[in-house]
Structure 1
Amino acid sequence: MVDGRKTAFLLPYKSLVNEKYDQFKRIYGGVGQRVIRATGDTHDEISLLLKGKYDFAFLTYEMFLGLVVNNQSILHSLGLVVLDEAQFISDPNRGITVELLLTNLLASKEKGVCPQLITLSAVIGDLNNFNKWLDCESLETDRRPVPLSEGVLDRSGRIRIKDGALEDTLQLIPSRNITQRRPKPSSQDVIVPLVKQLVGDGEKVIVFRNSRGSAQGCAKYLATELRLPSADLLKGALPSHDVTSASSALRDSLSGGVAFHTSNLSAAERELVEREFRDSNGNIHVLVATTTVAAGINTPADTVIIVEHEFYGAEKRYFTIGEYKNMAGRAGRLGYKPHGKAILLADTPIQQNQLFARYVDGSPDPLRSSFSSKHIETWLLRLLSHVGHVQRADVFRLLANTFGGYLANREDPNWFSHAQVEAEKFVGEMLRLEIAEINGDEIQLTILGRACANSLLDFRSSIRLIEVLQQLPPDQFTMERLMVLVQLLPESDNVYTPMLRKGQWEARWPQMAASMFGQETALILQKGARDTAHFRARCKRALILHDWLEGVSIGSIESKFSANAYSQVGLGDIRSIANLTRLHLMSAFQIANAMLLVNNLDNDEVEHFLKRLEFGLPESALGLLGLPKSLSRGEYLALHASGVSKLGEFWSKLTSVVSDILGRNKADEFKELATEEIRVNSLENADHLQQLNLER
């Protein structure tokens, strides 16, 4: 920084980027340091990043890779790159992004561009030559700044616990306090007396559950059983517009002093819950959460209780040791708690010993590449986009430079020659599909090939999209139709879509999709579907997105698309579908653009549609996004419904309609912002502001 170089922090989640951005802005913004972020949302400051007008930049992995591939000059201004949660290189879904961005950084060294690189992780086992591949020194420590005890509790109330090198078995809960509360024995029988005892000792407790439904239900019965003082201040601060079923459930549990934290809550609700739980004087002493809280968000507790040991859903896989350590690590955080305790729940003494051996005594898995020969085309395509052009005979050497290639070559000296045959087959296929071309004795991507490579789509997904788009006449191309077609991509099929597997309740969606988007478009959604249920899920996602874009209330969407309480569509599902669609829609648009299908669209139309997907707003409400302070979706929609859709209307009605909807305190905040904006510069529609008596 002394030399004017920049620092980039790369993180796996938007929530982490936003948290660290706020933290650095608060600490360093006041001393003239420029802090920016990029997560793929509207508030991104990409133009400042490209111009080098920053000191600290916080980005998600995907944003950094996409920006650097198309703007290598970014690396020239960087003095330091910090990649947090380096274990994600082993992740089967996102590992390719982490590995490719690190491969890109290594390749830049050959061109004399050498920002310092630091990778961080608290849950890596054996490095498996990761440091040698990066040509970095390794710094390892097993010392935890705040001591952590880890144990497994069975249904008798006895816990086998380890504190450093000391191990013991003791009676944590009197066995008489563990009683059956439902027709069959359940985890509730142990959770209630355990949490009651811990809170009675003055502790703050996080209870981890493996699904949103079980987390919400657990918070409900704990609030009923514990009867803690109501968190009235937090309840009063919660958003009051576009209230969801989860929002109502949160208010109910807060009446008993218990909160929950799941993706079915809005970002504003989750932030308020996190802040209240962090506050040592706050009224929330028990937080029930899904693993969203384990992903590095700072929510420190005295004790963490981990109820299940596997993920809920189709994959039903057990937590890895690293995932367990992440959850356990929420207990006893530096600067908050002097000691932490993590407790796993077991049904029997036998399971208690098994869980203790696996998780308490176990070490995180060795670091591995996520590279799979099944995805060799995607890896080579993206690597080709980084280098521009290469000798045909050297194409495979690009893959050999990755962590996966490095490890494979060390383990099997014959791997290179075997895999090179597969690479040559792929080169032939690229030439046949015209996504690559021969220029002299070198191979390079075509414009269409580069659009595929720069997307986050798997190679086979890109090819499926191209085949579908070839059936679409250019004069029928719209962003909404492209949004619908994105639902047939494997990446969209993998997003969780609540579906009732039995009966005919879900059979309605194809006909509704045909009526909404046209029969031809609906029929295309059948392409590549595994079965009828798969096809119906695609139609259902498209219809959910339509209502989201039109500003239909979350409660109405939940009611319309939920078959029953066990296949309920919640805000988390809606946002997950919308966010993933928005992520891949831009890639799909670039591919369609390379195919010369989008001549009837301008950049503003594309940008507006992406904003609508991000915020869930109709076109006529987008003008409100120009306000100097963000609002919730419910607040935007309430203003829009009251005839306030443009900035001028907002400022002219600030003391009347706007104040009634947003509340006097928030309206006063806008007055302050407007006063400052007028003083520094001129805000759009400033003539309306001048009519207001705005005084500090």
Structure 2
Amino acid sequence: MELDRLHEIGLIVVDELHLIGEPGRGATLEILLTTVLVADKNIQIVGMSATIGNLPDLAQFLRAAVFQRQFRPVELREYVKLGDTLHRLVYGAQGLEVVPERQLVYDYSPAATSLDPDMLGGLVAEVVPADCCLVFCPTKRNCENVAALLCKLQRKEMLSHRVAERAALSSALRAEGGSGELARAVRCGVAWHHAGLGGDERAMLEHAFRSGVISVLCCTSTLAAGVNLPARRVIIRAPRVGRRPLALAAYRQMTGRAGRAGICDTGESILICPAAEWVAVRAQLAGGLPPVRSALRPALGALLLPAAALRLPPRRLLAATLLAVADDDSIDINQLCDEELRSLLESGVLELPDKSSGDDCDLVVTPLGLAAIKGCLELNVARQLLEDLEVASRGLVLMGSLHLLYLVTPHDAAGIKPDYRHYYSLYSNLDEEGIQTAKVLGITENNAIRMMTGKPITNVSEQVLCRFYVALMLHDLWKQVPVPVVADKYIIPRGTVQSIMCSSAAFAAGAQRFCEALQRWWAFAPLLLALAERLRHCAAPELQQLMELPNVRKARALQLSRAGYKRIEDLAKASAEDLISSVAHLSRTAATHLISAARMMLIEKVENLRAEAEDVMEELKV
């Protein structure tokens, strides 16, 4: 929009549109769509979802027509298991009917019965290994426990299925630093999948499940919305997500994984429900999908501040939001707009125009506001960054990267609350750089002693303590310490470690743009730029080019480099056969994708260079 090139966009497609009602990213999505709708009426927006209960509201917001149908290429049969009986769920004109289908009888020994009273093993064995089965569990720990249980209950035909490929996958997971329990489970054709795993581990397990090497995947509800892994049978272990009751939208997302055209000829979902909870669960299933409501109100500033920079009228913009469409008569859009604009003026990111300048714009964005926009930073984050920069300007520790890493740690410390006794042991082993950085932040030996003795720490905020803990973790990653080792050292799941690394890299890039936009802090910009580039993967410099390829993380980049493929050009010239033979655990599909991606990157570079050369030649002619 800044470059006046919005007309080059013709179509925007939004999958999983119901996420617009989620806190955080829902507001971001609503801001994007609202801005587009007001700025350019010619762009078509297509939104898709299977779990929206108030489609007319969303259609009014998007100025769209509703296209809705119930057709499913592969029939889905829904069941609920009550006691030892499987009941079919039938949705008709009379509402939800529960029809007894069959009694479950398996050749369980007394020991197996006591281990598996819900008959999960029998329900899984009915479809594997010929087909795949997803088991949704309420928590990450439950995923691992259920997987361990299913390994004990597997039959001979399951254990003898694709043994060599499972052994290779098990070895690959061990090479990634995965747990021994997961590697052993994989040999039985069973695995778990949740946010505690590293990205490489999850990618390997997803590929193995799609190809049938893994027959059973025990997972949390996040897989239902974020990963396309269809299965013949979906089992919902309990009518809960964490400690919360299972909502109808989440149930639909889970059951939607069952059966997929071209993969399965039918799909089945089985909800295991205790009798005591069935009345409440039935009412939930029989009810309609909940309406999607706007999550914009806490983030109004993130809508109105860029709008002022882009010269978009704030009242018109706010009137075009989903928030304005909500059927809550208590919402006064004009009042909300006035309150938020007043708040932005008081915070110093907007100001009234200088009348003598002749500028007829209603409001002017200040340098601080422009810097926050350039850095894609929320205002509270921008203010905290300014405070951190003030502290750093008086005593930046440049003995290494630790102090800079602290500047870009998530301000909520990614929700991590360290064990202070363990924190004390880490503090006791700090080198000179760590001690000096801690001292600048106000963390002293006296604080460390209080950690050890359990006494409250009053002179340093908990936020600073938690962020420094995360910065120490990032510092180890920076020094090429493997992710599994770092996760164990800081008592953080591997998936969370990688997530923090990604969010810190994004924050570093935003902070660099923020500093560039504020003249006073220009000296920090090049430092943060170099930090962001390396932090993005915490890889050795020689691996960074390979990690520009899609789905290539540090472990795969190391494999490629050791096999002699050190540059994008090396991969572009390779054949799939050569790549498969020289890189362990690389499928033909993955090898083909790598080569294609490398060639596309080279073609793009050549085209960019050609365009630059043509521009130079045109200038010379003039």
Where do 5+ consecutive residues of structure 2 fail to align?
A: 448-456, 607-622
Structure 2 residue 282 is matched with structure 1 residue 350: no
- 1:613 corresponds in structure 2 to 535
Work out whether residues 90 and 367 of structure 1, in 8 Å CA contact, stay in contact via their aligned partners in 2. Answer: yes
Q: Aligned partners of 1:664, 1:284: CA distance in 2, in Å?
A: 15
Aligned counterpart for 1:290 among listed residues 220, 228, 234: 220
Q: Aligned partners of 1:648, 1:424: CA distance in 2, in Å?
A: 49
Q: Aligned partners of 1:545, 1:337: CA distance in 2, in Å?
A: 44
Aligned counterpart for 1:633 among listed residues 541, 554, 562: 554
Letter of the structure 1 residue corresponding to residue 216 of structure 2: V
Q: Aligned partners of 1:583, 1:90: CA distance in 2, in Å?
A: 24
Q: Aligned partners of 1:167, 1:530: CA distance in 2, in Å?
A: 61
Structure 2 residue 335 is matched with structure 1 residue 406: no
Aligned counterpart for 1:330 among listed residues 251, 257, 280: 257
Letter of the structure 2 residue corresponding to residue 298 of structure 1: N
Aligned counterpart for 1:422 among listed residues 335, 339, 351: 339
Where do 5+ consecutive residues of structure 1 fail to align?
A: 1-68, 563-568, 685-696
Q: Give the superposition deviation at 1:325.
A: 0.9
Q: Aligned partners of 1:550, 1:140: CA distance in 2, in Å?
A: 53
Cα gap change, 1:521 to 1:133, in 2 (>3 Å): same
- 1:485 corresponds in structure 2 to 407
- SS where residue 126 of structure 2 aligns? helix
Work out whether residues 441 and 464 of structure 2, in 8 Å CA contact, stay in contact via their aligned partners in 1. Answer: no
Q: Aligned partners of 2:459, 2:185: CA distance in 1, in Å?
A: 41
- SS where residue 380 of structure 1 aligns? helix
What whole-Å deviation, never above 9, does each CA across 1:108-156 have from its counterpart, x for those lacking one?
A: 23xxx512221111111122522122211111223333222223323x2
Q: Aligned partners of 1:262, 1:606: CA distance in 2, in Å?
A: 32
Cα gap change, 1:592 to 1:317, in 2 (>3 Å): farther
- SS where residue 536 of structure 2 aligns? helix
- 1:378 corresponds in structure 2 to 302
- 1:152 corresponds in structure 2 to 80
Cα gap change, 1:241 to 1:285, in 2 (>3 Å): closer
Cα gap change, 1:620 to 1:458, in 2 (>3 Å): same
Q: Percent of aligned pairs with the same residue?
A: 22
- 1:590 corresponds in structure 2 to 513
Q: Give the superposition deviation at 1:575.
A: 0.8
- 2:12 corresponds in structure 1 to 81
Structure 2 residue 491 is matched with structure 1 residue 571: no
Map 1:141-290 onto structure 2 (within 5 A): 141-154=69-82, 156-165=83-92, 167-174=98-105, 177=108, 188-199=116-127, 202-227=130-155, 228=158, 229=160, 231=162, 232-237=164-169, 240=172, 243-244=175-176, 246=178, 248-279=180-211, 282-290=212-220
Map 1:513-662 onto structure 2 (within 5 A): 516-517=433-434, 518-523=437-442, 535-562=464-491, 569-596=492-519, 598-600=521-523, 606-619=528-541, 621-622=543-544, 625=547, 631-637=552-558, 662=583
Q: Aligned partners of 2:331, 2:198: CA distance in 1, in Å?
A: 52
Q: Aligned partners of 1:414, 1:443: CA distance in 2, in Å?
A: 24
Cα gap change, 1:665 to 1:554, in 2 (>3 Å): closer
- SS where residue 168 of structure 1 aligns? strand
- SS where residue 523 of structure 1 aligns? coil
Work out whether residues 295 and 326 of structure 1, in 8 Å CA contact, stay in contact via their aligned partners in 2. Answer: yes
Cα gap change, 1:507 to 1:141, in 2 (>3 Å): farther
What whole-Å deviation, never above 9, does each CA across 1:599-619 have from its counterpart, x for those lacking one?
A: 44676x655432422222144
Work out whether residues 551 and 617 of structure 1, in 8 Å CA contact, stay in contact via their aligned partners in 2. Answer: yes
- SS where residue 49 of structure 2 aligns? coil
Cα gap change, 1:485 to 1:149, in 2 (>3 Å): same
- SS where residue 546 of structure 1 aligns? helix
Letter of the structure 2 residue corresponding to residue 98 of structure 1: L
Q: Give the superposition deviation at 1:484.
A: 1.1
Q: Aligned partners of 1:550, 1:71: CA distance in 2, in Å?
A: 40
Cα gap change, 1:530 to 1:521, in 2 (>3 Å): closer
TM-score (norm 2): 0.78
Q: Aligned partners of 1:511, 1:532: CA distance in 2, in Å?
A: 20
Q: Aligned partners of 2:552, 2:410: CA distance in 1, in Å?
A: 33
Q: Aligned partners of 1:531, 1:318: CA distance in 2, in Å?
A: 39
Aligned counterpart for 1:458 among listed residues 370, 378, 383: 378
Q: Aligned partners of 1:509, 1:592: CA distance in 2, in Å?
A: 32
Give the aligned length: 567
Q: Aligned partners of 2:430, 2:244: CA distance in 1, in Å?
A: 34
Cα gap change, 1:541 to 1:309, in 2 (>3 Å): farther
Q: Give the superposition deviation at 1:553.
A: 1.5
Cα gap change, 1:510 to 1:587, in 2 (>3 Å): farther
- SS where residue 392 of structure 2 aligns? coil
- SS where residue 268 of structure 2 aligns? strand
